[in-house]
């Protein structure tokens, strides 16, 4: 579990990559608009797509700009239960006292806190949630007193999981899918993403994307981190094929 206050803006990037910038990709720009609408409507939203496409980073970056004081971000790694979610929310919301034992008391406490002021609840890795867990989120959102918007962020089959739950599919205001960058987007985005690629030959960037990046931000972050290390060790000003081969070797070998 992690909560919003634990995450600095620099940690949004994979591996906390130093020097990396948040690039205004088309997906991020669309997400920012969608989140603004969801926050206004106090609605539910689902951000889905394969792992590493920048969903979490985009949501975090957008909400930092849109509602920095109102965000409560929770994340689950294993298959949680409603009880787990209650406890995570209890901590994330900073509720005072000890967590109540009975579900009805616990929910009443959480609803009271969530009724105090507007909050955006971000539930990352939503694909891990069971039907009971979604029922719990819906329960909080449907309550007349709570003042919340909920953003589900999930990879893999998150869309399928949420879609099969009528309780959510009828309530989610915006569905947004994150897709891989195509080659043109890569050539436009990656030089801005990190200074190490700023003066790199576009052919080399396309070469990296074809063999290792695959339009995936997380892969590009990893490649960038290794490239920075390689340039420092090889004392090169910019990446070239030799540097990239060294990087590929650390990623599990070259596809050549």
Partner 1 sequence: MNELAPVTVLLDPDDDAGLTAALLQLHDPPSGVVVIHPTPSSGRATSLAHDLLAGLGRPIAQLGPEGLGGSKQAWRAARAAMAADPPQAVVLLRTQTLTPASLQPLLTLSPQSGTSLLLVCHTRTLPPALTQLLDHIEHQVLTDLPAAINRHALDIPAVTGPPDDGRADTCPNRLPQSKLPMARLGVYRAEAYRRLPPHQFAQFDTHYRYGMDAALAHLRNETGGTSRGQFLSATTWDSPTRLHTYARIRGMQAGFLWHGRDLLIRAPLRQLCGPGLTSVPFTLDIATRIRAQAAHPLVAAALAITYFTGIDAAARSYLSLEAIAPGGATVTISHHESHDRIKDVIRLHLSSADYRVGFHVPPLARPFLIGARAFLLEHPNPIAARPAAIDTKLASALRRCQIPLPHRPYQPRNRLYAIAGTWQLHATAVPFRDPIQEPGHDVAVQARDVGTPAPAASRARYDPGDTGPPSLLDPTPNGTTRHLNLIESYLSARHIPQPAATPDLDDLLFALRLTPRPSPLPWMPPNQRRRQSNHRDP
Site residues (vs partner 1, CB under 8 A): 81-82, 101-105, 107-108, 132, 135-136, 139, 142-144, 166-167, 170-171
Judge contact between 183 and 211, C-beta under 8 A: no
Please report which residue ranges of 26-81 form alpha helices under DSSP H.
Answer: 26-41, 55-66
CB of 147 to partner 1, least distance (A): 14
State whether the Cα torsion 82-88-90-96 is positive or negative: positive
CB of 151 to partner 1, least distance (A): 16
Nearest to partner 1 of 1, 167 (CB atom): 167
> Which among 226, 213, 219, 217 has a CA at the least distance from the CA of 193?
217
- C-alpha torsion angle, residues 93, 96, 101, 103 (rounded to 10): -40
Nearest to partner 1 of 142, 201 (CB atom): 142
Nearest to partner 1 of 137, 248 (CB atom): 137
Task: Give CA–CA dist 223/162, Å, rounded.
Answer: 32
CB of 176 to partner 1, least distance (A): 19
Task: Give CA–CA dist 172/54, Å, rounded.
Answer: 21
Residue 78 has a CB neighbour count (10 Å cut-off) of: 8
CB of 89 to partner 1, least distance (A): 13
DSSP-derived secondary structure for 136-155: HHHHHHHSSS--EEEEEEE-
CB of 100 to partner 1, least distance (A): 8
Nearest to partner 1 of 105, 157 (CB atom): 105
Nearest to partner 1 of 132, 147 (CB atom): 132
Nearest to partner 1 of 38, 189 (CB atom): 38
Task: Give CA–CA dist 157/111, Å, rounded.
Answer: 30
Nearest to partner 1 of 82, 155 (CB atom): 82
Q: Tokens 């406490």 — which residue? A: 109
Residue 197: partners with Cβ closer than 8 Å, 6 or more residues away: 190, 191, 205, 224, 239
CB of 125 to partner 1, least distance (A): 19
The helix or strand, by DSSP H or E, that contains position 73, with its residue range, turns out to be: strand 71-75
CB of 170 to partner 1, least distance (A): 5
């Amino acid at each position: 579990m992690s909560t919003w206050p634990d995450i600095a803006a620099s940690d949004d990037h994979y591996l906390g990559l130093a020097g990396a910038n948040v690039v205004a990709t088309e997906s991020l720009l669309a997400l920012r608009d969608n989140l603004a609408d969801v926050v206004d409507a106090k609605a539910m939203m689902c951000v889905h797509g394969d792992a590493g496409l920048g969903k979490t980073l985009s949501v975090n970056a957008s909400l930092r700009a849109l509602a920095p004081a109102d965000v409560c971000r929770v994340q689950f790694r294993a298959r949680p239960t409603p009880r787990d979610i209650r406890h995570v929310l209890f901590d994330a919301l900073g509720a005072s006292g000890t967590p109540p034992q009975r579900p009805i008391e616990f929910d009443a406490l959480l609803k009271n806190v969530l009724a105090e002021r507007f909050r955006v609840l971000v539930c990352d890795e939503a694909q891990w949630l069971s039907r009971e867990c979604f029922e719990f989120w819906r329960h909080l959102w449907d309550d007349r007193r709570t003042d919340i918007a909920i953003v589900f962020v999930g990879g893999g089959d998150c869309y399928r999981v949420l879609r099969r739950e009528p309780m959510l599919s009828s309530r989610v205001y915006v569905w947004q899918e994150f897709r891989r960058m195509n080659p043109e987007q890569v050539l436009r985005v990656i030089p801005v993403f990190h200074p190490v690629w700023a003066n790199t030959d576009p052919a080399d960037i396309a070469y990296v994307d074809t063999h290792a990046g695959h339009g995936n931000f997380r892969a590009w972050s990893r490649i960038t981190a290794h490239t920075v290390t390689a340039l420092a060790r090889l004392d090169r000003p910019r990446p070239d094929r030799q540097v990239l081969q060294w990087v590929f070797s650390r990623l599990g070998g070259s596809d050549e």
